[in-house]
Each structure stands twice: as C-alpha cells, then as structure tokens.
A and B are shown apart, each in its own frame.
Chain A
Amino acid sequence: MKIMKKILAALAVGASLAFAAPPAWAHAFLDHASPAVGSTVPATPSVVTLWFTQDLELAFSTVTVSDKAGQRVDLGNAQVPPGQPAELQVGLKKLPRGTYTVQWHVVSVDTHTTDGHFTFDVGGR
C-alpha cells in the first residue's frame, strides 16, 4: 500500500513538474480604448474610455488627456463607471484638430500598478 501511495505521489510530482509554470499575472493592461489607440476621429468625442484586462482601484487610478503642447484637455473627472469595474472614463473639453495623448496609470484590485500612453487624432491628419 505504502509503495502504491509513493508511486502515485511520484506520478503527481512528475505531473506537477510538467505543468508547473509561472502564473498569467493579473496586472491591469489596456485591452482597448475609445477612441481606439492610434485612431482618427472626425469630431471631439465626449469621453475617452479605457477598457482594462482587470478590475481597477479607482482611488489610485488616473487618466489624463493632453494636447501637443502638453496642456490638459480632459475634465479631470476620471471615474470607473458603476458596474464596469475594469473601465476608466474621463470627459473631454471641445477639441480642435490635432493629435492628443492619453496617459494612464492604474492600480488593479490585486494591488499591481501599470501605466502607458497612446495617441489619437481629431479631424484627420
């Protein structure tokens, strides 16, 4: 019996060695955005929405939008919409034609931080 148990244990050790691997880490990465990353939109969208791969902690998550000169053009009202814990939204001022940079820094519910940025154009290049 003991030997059988040991054999089973041995098989399990072998299996765990074969399958053991680092976890798919739960950081919140940007999944997609609206306006889309690198896209061109005809007119000013009312909000920028970012969809992340993980639920966020609003208390420590920020998103800002700035123009080429580095001036903030968002309304500073970043929020995680109710019932959408993996989304981050911020309102925009009326924007003239140009390229805008969205900069985000988020903390996921498992306390990991990530950040990044992307641009979009208003009114064609």
Chain B
Amino acid sequence: MNAADAFIVVARTLHFAACVSLTGVFAFECLVAGRTLRANDAEFGDGFGRRRRVSVLAWASLALALVSGAAWLAGVAAHMSGEPLGELKSSTIAIVLTETRVGKDWLVRLALALLLGACLIAWKRRAHWSAAIGWAAFGLSALLLVTLAWAGHGAADEGINGNIHLAADLLHLLAVGIWLGGLVPFALMMTAVQYVGDQGAVGIARTATRRFSAIAVTSVGVLLASGVVNTLYLSGNVPALLGTPYGQLLLLKIALFVAMLSVAAINRVRLTAHLDADSRAWQAIPQLRRNALIESAIGLGVLAIVGQLGILPPGLHTEPVWPLPFRIDPNALPTGDKILSAVLVVGFCACAVLVIVALAGRRKWLLGASVAGLIPCVAFAAPPLRRAIEPAYPTTYFASPVPYDAAAVVRGAAIYAQNCAVCHGADGRGNGSAAASLPTKPADLTKPHLFAHNVGDLYWWVGHGLGGVMPAFEARLTPTDRWNVIQFIRAHAAGVLAKSVGPEVTGAAAPQVLDFAFEIHGAQDTLSQTLQNGPVLLILYSRPVPDARLRQLAAEKRRLAAGGLTVIPVGPREIRNSSSREAKPPYVVGVSADVEKALALFRSAGDGGETEVMLDRNRNIRARWTASGPRSLAPPNVLIADAQRAARFAVAAPNHAGHGG
C-alpha cells in the first residue's frame, strides 16, 4: 500500500468511526437514556458528569467527522485527478465538489454535519433532556452515516437489484451506528451508575441494560440479514473469498464480528441475569462496562477493515490464488448427498455458535448438548464430502484472460502441433508418436471429461506438468501461449463432442462454439454480439455451395427473424471472392482465414458439404444437422420452434476476466 492509499484508508476508518459514534450517542439518548431516566430519576442522567461526558463525546465525534471527511475528500480528489496529495490544487477540489457525484454527496453531508452542530449547541443550552432536539440529532447523525452507502460501491448498481442492495447497505450502516456506536454511551451510563452507587442506580442499570440489549439484538439481526442480502448481491464466490486479499480481509471482518458477538453473548446471557440478583449486581456493572468497551475496541478493528476494503483492487479482477491443495466440488455429488451435506454443514455452524453461547453463559448442559451435536454433523458429513474432494492448484479458479475466439484457437493450434501433438496426438486422442513409450498413456483430450476440469486446472498442468510424466511448459510457453493452447484444446474437444449432438434441442450438456468476427453488408459484427438478440443458426459449408438451402432460408429470412432466429452462413473465401455465378449466395458473410480454420473444427468429414448448428445465447450447440444426416436439414418452421426452445436456456453470467481493454 502506498502513502496515498494509506492516507485514504486512515481517513475512511476515522470517518466511519466518527459517524458511527455520533449515531450511537443520539440513538442511545433517544432509545435508552431518555426513557430510562424518565422511568426512574430524571435528574440522574444529567448528574455525576454523565451528560458532560456524552456531550464531549458528541462534539469530539463531530469534529473528527468533519476533519476526516475533508481528508477523505482530498484523498479522493488526488486519486481522481492523478495529482499528488501534497500538490493538490484548490481548483481540482472545486471541480470535484461541483462536477462529480462524490463531491455533490460530500456537500450534502457537510450540510448535515453543520445542522447537527446546531442541534448540539441547542442541546447544550438546555438544562434538561429535550426529546425534540434528541430525535432531530439522531435523524441527522443517522443520515450522515447512511449516506456513506453512496461513497462505496452502492453508487454503482442500478435498477431494482441496485435498490435492494442499497437498502441493505443503508440498514447495515444504521444498525452498526445504533449498536456499535451505542456501546460507549452505554459504558458511560454504567460509569455514572457506579458513581451514584445506590439501590436506585441499580434499577437504572437494569432498565438501561434491558433496553440497550433489546435494540442491540434487533440491530445484530438487521446486520446479519442485510449482510447476507449484500453478499448475495455481490456475486462473489468461495475462491474469491479464500484466494484474494479482499476476501481474506472480509473473512477477518466476519471473525471479528463473531468475537464481538461472543462478548455480547456474555453480557446478555450471564451478566444481565446477575443484575437481577442484588448480591451480584455490583460486580456485574463494571463487567458490563468493561465488556462494552472491549466490544467497541473490536468494532474499531472492524471499521479499520471496512476502511481498507474500500480501496482494495477489484476482487474479481485479481485472479483468486487458491490456497488449498484440494477443493470440494458439490457438483460431483448426487443430489441427496448434496442436500445432506449442506444441512449438516449448517448444523455444524449452529452447534459451533451454541458452544460459544454455552461458554458465555457457563451453561454446562448446553455445552454438552452442542458439543454432542457437533459429532454426528462431522461423522455424517465427512463421507460424502470426502467423495467431493478434488485436487486443486493455485490457479484452479483463474479465468482465461485470452477469450475463447478464433484468433486464440488458431494460435493455439500451432502451439499444440509443435509442443503437444507428439504425445497427445494430432487428433488429441492421446496417441502421438511418443505415446507408446510412456509409462502412463497421455490423456485423451477429446473426452467430455475435459470440460469437468476448470480451465485453471488445465493451465496449471500445462505450466507445471502432471504426475511426473507430462513435462512442464512454463519455461517454453508464455502465459498467453498456454491460454491459447487451452482454448484450442477446448475448441477441438467441443468440435468432437458436437458430432454426437442430435437434431433435437435438449438440455443435455452442450459443446460451446468459439466466438468470431464477421462482416455482413459491410458492417462488422461478432457471434457473441449477434447472440444477444437471440439464438443463431450457424451454417458451415464448403463447395459445392448449398445454393438451394441458402435460397430457402433467405426467402424465409423475415419469418425466421420474427421467430427470434438469426442465420449466419460461413463458406470458403474463394467462393465469396470469385466472380462466377456461384459467387452470389443469398447470404454473404465475410470471415477471415483464421475464423474459417477455427470453425472447421466444428464440421465432420462426412457432413455432405454442410453442417448446421442451433446455438443458444451462450454459444452452446443445442441441435445439429448435416446435409448427409439421417434426418436431413430442418425446414424453417422447425427451425423457429427449435430457436424458441434454445432461447429458453438462461444466459450464463458474464466472465469478468474476459473484459477487453
């Protein structure tokens, strides 16, 4: 982390802490202190220095919020403009404040902070607690806190999902403010109770603890629910969690949160009960106070992580480096085992939390029961989960930075011929000239099983070898070349697999066609762009031109388009370039030599000069016909019905690593 990043992290952490503290102070005054004191002794709350301490805390938090907010904005302005922090021009800050979204948000937040200051002055002038001022201050501080949701990625999403995500963010921040921010005011209350030291004070401690406990439990519930909703929307996954710095920090955040919950459990389960017993109450009060401060300290650690998370490089753009030598692949399990192990994993977590609760509350029977509960969870989940264990490598969850397209496949084919064919064979079946002399037969790269491996596994094997037989190519092939050859192997295997696809659209695993660019009516397009409009019928033909078929489809072009189907016929270049009559097939689609070569993988020798494949929106071959097949080419109305079936396959999530630029 460089100095400029460290500056923003510190500013963010302090700003979050200040806003959380402000919200907590007024939430505590409105929801706990005000009512408690009205129910007991109104004078108490202002006596023995409590009110002065609360006031100092509020002023200090507001000052910190302003200073850290300004520092944060300066850091952001430097980052956006590329100017070093020390040489930041005031004109740059002016542009940020007036012309950017973050600047406008910051002006709104500055206004909120100033209004809050006015409330604090008004509060100081009054001798007694004023509900109106208290609630106004609570509202303003809560707004100051929740508007931070726009400072993060909350600003990014759009549409209904964005709104739900944003709502979850807002609730998450509000709950943090009320619970975490309320801990120090709660500790100040316990201090005042100790000063007073009489029976009435114990009553106040009881009421305050109950009330605070109730809003804390609600807040923790909201934190958990909104945290789950957020993470569901954030489309991350286990590899990103374990294998990226971002994910690891997030795990640390969750661990600290669990630690806070453990301390909170001691307060709620044990010490709150002690308050009711007169003999133990005077021991419980300082313990409650100490634990609240311990929770606050851990909470500050959580905020420091939040401060850091906001500036980390994009989680999904740094490839996750898988830290374990194995992975658990639930897809390898039958459905029954999958459900069983999921239930048992959840059961294990539940028992583990009960162990913490039992320890916190010193409940021996609960400890015994929950430990006993852990045993069957482990015993019954272990056998199916062991079957789901697959070897894994640091690169297992890497996505290919090289797209699955014609250029990569053609480059990969040349690399394959030079480096791989000697063992794996020119046709990929593991029967190269050197194969016979090897102790282990080279892998058959045309089996559907190839697609059961992550491309990241293939990448590791190409780079580092496998089983002491396959050599490592790390020194001979650049990373890009390794990805190119993997894309060729995938295309080749998909081509072999395609030959078994029948003329009916089914949900069976379907081989994927590579992406390619083509020119139609002088404009450039790509297969993947075209597929955004719906399924495509890809026609691969050679001489003689299947003129009758192309004319038939051209005549029905409008009806096919209305049925959601685009036809892309790809033929040999010399036909397009020659000047004979044959040169004018009804569809003229221009492709490069590379595309022609790569697409040839998806034809077979005996296709009678023409192969037609129906592609769903993921480029998967859902149906296939050949001119020589037992069921000949499909008439237009069948094609339309098939296109509608193919359109039903959901579009797979985009691969972020595949972005260009």
Interface residues of A (CB under 8 A from B): 2-3, 5-7, 9-27, 29-32, 35-37, 39-42, 53-55, 57-60, 104, 107-111, 113-114, 116-118
Q: A21-B240, A36-B524, A118-B660 are contacts. A110–B156 as well, Cβ < 8 Å?
A: yes
A-B contact pairs, 27 of them (CB 8 A): A3-B357, A3-B366, A6-B265, A6-B357, A7-B354, A9-B261, A10-B353, A12-B221, A14-B345, A16-B227, A17-B349, A21-B241, A22-B244, A23-B230, A23-B234, A23-B315, A25-B314, A25-B315, A26-B156, A30-B661, A35-B524, A57-B100, A58-B99, A59-B100, A109-B102, A111-B102, A113-B80
Question: B102's contact among A18, A42, A110, by CB below 8 Å, is which?
Answer: A110
* Chain B residues within 8 Å of A35, by CB: 524
Question: A11's contact among B82, B95, B268, B349, by CB below 8 Å, is which?
Answer: B349
Which A residue sits closest to B522, measured CB to CB? A42
Say whether B520 faces chain A, with CB atoms less than 8 Å apart: no
- Report how far A29 CA is from B314 CA in the complex, Å: 11
Q: Report B227-258 residues with CB < 8 Å from chain A CB.
A: 227-228, 230-232, 234-238, 240-241, 244, 246-247, 250-251, 254, 258
Say whether B153 faces chain A, with CB atoms less than 8 Å apart: yes
Say whether B200 faces chain A, with CB atoms less than 8 Å apart: no
Interface residues of B (CB under 8 A from A): 76, 79-82, 95-96, 99-102, 151-153, 155-157, 217, 220-221, 224-225, 227-228, 230-232, 234-238, 240-241, 244, 246-247, 250-251, 254, 258, 261, 265, 268-269, 314-317, 345-346, 349-354, 357, 366, 517, 522, 524, 526, 529, 656, 659-661
- Report how far A51 CA is from B366 CA in the complex, Å: 59
Q: A21-B250, A111-B79 are contacts. A27–B346 as well, Cβ < 8 Å?
A: no
Question: B227's contact among A5, A20, A22, A39, by CB below 8 Å, is which?
Answer: A20
Q: A6-B357, A22-B246, A40-B524 are contacts. A13–B258 as well, Cβ < 8 Å?
A: yes
Question: B95's contact among A10, A36, A59, A110, by CB below 8 Å, is which?
Answer: A59
Q: Contact check, B227 vs A21: say whether CB atoms are below 8 A apart.
A: no
Which B residue sits closest to A61, measured CB to CB? B80
Q: Contact check, A60 vs B76: say whether CB atoms are below 8 A apart.
A: no
Q: Contact check, A19 vs B228: say whether CB atoms are below 8 A apart.
A: yes
Main SS at interface, chain A: mixed
- Report how far A42 CA is from B590 CA in the complex, Å: 14
Q: Contact check, A10 vs B349: say whether CB atoms are below 8 A apart.
A: yes
Which A residue sits closest to B239, measured CB to CB? A21
- Report how far A21 CA is from B353 CA in the complex, Å: 21
Which B residue sits closest to A86, measured CB to CB? B158
* Chain A residues within 8 Å of B529, by CB: 32
* Chain A residues within 8 Å of B250, by CB: 20-22
Q: Contact check, A21 vs B349: say whether CB atoms are below 8 A apart.
A: no
Q: Contact check, A29 vs B661: say whether CB atoms are below 8 A apart.
A: yes
Q: Contact check, A22 vs B661: say whether CB atoms are below 8 A apart.
A: no
Q: Contact check, A24 vs B217: say whether CB atoms are below 8 A apart.
A: no
Q: Contact check, B153 vs A23: say whether CB atoms are below 8 A apart.
A: yes
Q: A16-B224, A23-B315, A118-B661 are contacts. A110–B350 as well, Cβ < 8 Å?
A: no
Minimum Cβ distance to chain A for residue B312 (Å): 8
- Report how far A21 CA is from B80 CA in the complex, Å: 27
- Report how far A21 CA is from B246 CA in the complex, Å: 9
Pick the 10 closest A-B CB pairs, nearest first.
A21-B236, A26-B156, A22-B315, A14-B349, A10-B353, A116-B661, A25-B314, A30-B661, A23-B234, A12-B224
Q: Contact check, B99 vs A11: say whether CB atoms are below 8 A apart.
A: no
* Chain B residues within 8 Å of A7, by CB: 350, 353-354
- Report how far A15 CA is from B342 CA in the complex, Å: 11
Which B residue sits closest to A37, measured CB to CB? B660
- Report how far A24 CA is from B316 CA in the complex, Å: 6
* Chain B residues within 8 Å of A29, by CB: 659, 661
Minimum Cβ distance to chain A for residue B72 (Å): 10
- Report how far A107 CA is from B81 CA in the complex, Å: 9
- Report how far A97 CA is from B101 CA in the complex, Å: 41
* Chain B residues within 8 Å of A37, by CB: 660-661
Q: A22-B247, A116-B661 are contacts. A12–B228 as well, Cβ < 8 Å?
A: yes
Q: A107-B80, A109-B101, A118-B661 are contacts. A24–B517 as well, Cβ < 8 Å?
A: no
- Report how far A3 CA is from B357 CA in the complex, Å: 9
Q: Contact check, A23 vs B236: say whether CB atoms are below 8 A apart.
A: yes
- Report how far A10 CA is from B225 CA in the complex, Å: 12
- Report how far A11 CA is from B251 CA in the complex, Å: 17
* Chain B residues within 8 Å of A9, by CB: 220-221, 224, 261, 353
Q: A9-B221, A9-B261, A21-B236 are contacts. A26–B155 as well, Cβ < 8 Å?
A: yes
* Chain A residues within 8 Å of B524, by CB: 35-36, 39-41
- Report how far A109 CA is from B250 CA in the complex, Å: 24
Q: Contact check, A110 vs B353: say whether CB atoms are below 8 A apart.
A: no
Q: Contact check, A21 vs B237: say whether CB atoms are below 8 A apart.
A: yes
Q: Contact check, B225 vs A12: say whether CB atoms are below 8 A apart.
A: yes
Q: Contact check, B79 vs A25: say whether CB atoms are below 8 A apart.
A: no
Q: Contact check, B269 vs A2: say whether CB atoms are below 8 A apart.
A: yes
* Chain B residues within 8 Å of A30, by CB: 659-661
Q: Contact check, B80 vs A57: say whether CB atoms are below 8 A apart.
A: yes
